[in-house]
Amino acid sequence: VQLQASGGGLVQAGGSLRLSCAASGRTFSLYSMGWFRQAPGKEREFVAGVTRNDSPFYADSVKGRFTISRDNAKNTVYLQMNSLKPEDTAVYFCAAADIVRMSPSVYHFWGQGTQVTVSS
């Protein structure tokens, strides 16, 4: 599976962005999908995940603000980000795995990342 993330940009605090991750191949529906982010000097951290059965999971830091969804017909997973904060600034990556986990190590495939910058 090849993944292509897009939708990042510069936004003011309190604003919104929607990230998209388009997958190639016919097996997209068989994978659980995750969004991670990595800020400069920090480790890559789990943001949100969605199972093959469309069950979402979120990091505590984004609960109530971010929404993950998937469209298997379009081979795409989305991350709607609302009420953005400066601490959300990072490069955001999408990834595919057999099961949703917070650890990046279980994800087999990664997109190239898209920069999200939130100004105060």
Query: Mapping DSSP to helix (H, G, I), strand (E, B) and coil, where does residue 28 land?
Result: helix
* Residue 13: both structure tokens together: 């605090």
Q: What is the pLDDT along the chain (120 residues), one digit of tens a residue?
A: 899 999 999 999 999 999 999 999 778 999 999 999 999 999 999 999 999 999 999 999 999 999 999 999 999 999 999 999 999 999 999 999 998 899 999 999 999 999 999 999
Query: Mapping DSSP to helix (H, G, I), strand (E, B) and coil, where does residue 106 land?
Result: helix
Residue 92 and residue 80 in contact, taking contact as beta carbons nearer than 8 Å? no
pLDDT of residue 32: 96
How many whole angstroms separate alpha carbon 36 and alpha carbon 91? 8
